[in-house]
Structure 1
Amino acid sequence: MNGELKKPSATKIFMEGPEVVRLYFKTEKLTFGTSQLNPGQTGAVDPGHPDSHEVFFVVRGTVLLRVGDVYHEMHEGDAVLVPPAIPHQLTNIGLDIALVSFSLAPSEF
């Protein structure tokens, strides 16, 4: 494979609470997608992934990412690494729609 282009319209779309999730890629080694939240919305609690690290990167907006008992205020360009098996949850604390990309490896979905 020399690369694969995937546009938002070609993704798998599903809801996790009020979070609009788009799953772009899922292989044995990697999962990549985005989560979108409207202002004031809080997504579902993700119980964590037993064998995977997950990275959250804020593409647009301002979010509060709860990782276990720790809260991270994240702005555009910020990233957080979530260790395996730690529950986490996103809240849009900004005034605009928030778009956060996520990636976990190895893939567990």
Structure 2
Amino acid sequence: MSVINSKVANIGDLKLEHFKKADKFESHFIRIGQLLGAKDLGYSYDIVPPGKSSCPFHSHRAEEEMFFIVKGSGTLRYGDETRKIREGDVICCPTGGPETAHQILNDSDADLAYLSVSTMMPAEVCEYPDSKKVGAFGGSLRHMTHTDDALDYWKDEVPSG
């Protein structure tokens, strides 16, 4: 990797990790922000092969994201809409609920490469509309549950009856 003063990296020089989950999700990626010592922003580089996505359809309650399409084309799912995306597009994904859920799909016949930038919040709640899950993340806490599995706020806090 070509790094100047540990603050500059060229994406062409980075060693990417490979991720694959079932037949739907796959990417070659690197978390650049961590490598360069970023404190308040997370930034990553992903190359997604044809027919794949790097993550499920989801929204964030605390972290805002931005994507910049470096190479290729695909489809953006955003809330209830879909649209074609291509090299040079900048995508804004503010915080919110299902109306800001997003996913980038590579439905082309060539690799799709993008940079993602996000605010790094100490705690986050993500919603996954397709699978009806909610994730709570903060520090070492990483908890996923189905939205149907709600507990009463007072359960196990006070005697029943």
TM-score range, shorter chain: 0.7 to 0.9
For 1:79 and 1:41, the matched residues in 2 are separated by 20
> In the alignment, residue 49 of structure 2 is paired with which amino acid?
N
* 2:14 counterpart residue number: 8
Per the TM alignment, residue 95 of structure 1 is displaced from its structure 2 partner at its CA by: 2.0
* 1:78 counterpart residue number: 89
Write 1 or 2 for the structure with the bigger share of helix.
2
* 1:64 counterpart residue number: 75
CA deviations on 1:16-64 (whole Å, 9 max, x unpaired) are 6312221100433101111211112233215233212211111000011
5+ residue gaps, structure 1: none
5+ residue gaps, structure 2: 123-161
Q: Note the aligned Cα RMSD (angstroms).
A: 2.3
TM-score, normalised by the number of residues in structure 2: 0.56
* 1:93 counterpart residue number: 107
Are the counterparts in 1 of residues 18 and 26 from structure 2 also a CA contact under 8 Å?
no
> In the alignment, residue 18 of structure 1 is paired with which amino acid?
E
Percent of aligned pairs sharing the same letter: 20
Per the TM alignment, residue 15 of structure 1 is displaced from its structure 2 partner at its CA by: 2.4
* 2:66 counterpart residue number: 55
Q: Secondary structure at the match of 1:25?
A: helix
Q: Which structure is richer in relative contact order (CA contacts within 8 A, separation 6 or more)?
A: 1
TM-score, normalised by the number of residues in structure 1: 0.78
